[in-house]
Amino acid sequence: MLFRPNPSSGVPIYLQLMEQVKHGIETGALRPGEQLPGIRPLAEELVINPNTVAKAYRELEHEGVIELRHGAGAFVSGQAREKKLTDRLRAGQTIVAAAVERLHARGVTDEEIRRLFEAELAGLSRSGGERG
């Protein structure tokens, strides 16, 4: 599993890490029960603040994506939750795919679609609903 946050993107690094863990689970790169790198080694490898890694792990645990076992480290949550998460994401992916197809049909480019999504998400995040 490869984590690659971009510190200067303007998006909080802990959110980027959270997304990358979820994406890893979605793609199967991370399996239920699998252990995630420890906070120290990951901070050192990515050269980012250990508090940032700890925050990402705490939030992921809060969302039920991973489990923090005292002294043992962080593990991807068990099958049931993982499946639920995957189903939800798969449903979302279908919706996104349809939307992207319609936008393409109208001649909207990939880059424009990306900007539209970002604008929409940035717009939503202000209402404070979906931020951990």
Partner 1 sequence: MADTVIIETADLRKHYDGVEAVRGLSLQVPAGSIYGFLGKNGAGKTTTIKLLLGMARPTSGRAHVFGLAADEDRASVDIRRRTGFVSDDKDLYDYMTVAEMIRFTAAFFPRWRADLEQRYLRAFALPLDRKIKALSRGMRTKLALLLALCRGAELLILDEPTAGLDPAMTEEVLQALVAHVAAEEMTVFFSSHQIAEVDQIADRVAIIDRGRAVLTGSLDDLRESYRRIQLVFDGDAPEPAFRAPGVVRVRRKGRVLTVLSSAGAERILDEARALNPVSVDVVPVTLKEIFLETVTVED
> What separation in angstroms does the CA of 4 have from each of 16, 46, 80, 83?
8, 7, 28, 25
Residue 44 or 87: which CB sits closer to partner 1? 44
In whole angstroms, how close is the CB of 41 to partner 1 at the nearest point? 9
Per 3-state DSSP, the chain is made up of helix, strand and coil in percentages (nearest 5) of 60, 5, 35
Interacting residues toward partner 1 by CB under 8 A: 7-14, 39-40, 43-44, 47-52, 55, 115, 118-119, 122-123, 125-127, 131
Q: Answer whether 113's CB lies under 8 Å from 100's CB.
A: yes
Q: How far is the CB of 120 from partner 1 (least distance, A)?
A: 8
**Residue 131 CB, nearest approach to partner 1 (Å):** 7
Residue matched to tokens 């209402």: 127
By C-beta, is 94 or 125 nearer to partner 1?
Answer: 125
Beta strands in 20-128 (DSSP E): 66-69, 73-76
**Comparison of 51 and 94: residue with beta carbon closer to partner 1:** 51
Give min distance, CB of 103 to partner 1, in A: 15
CB 66, CB 22: distance < 8 Å: no
User: Of 79 and 125, which has the nearer Cβ to partner 1?
Assistant: 125
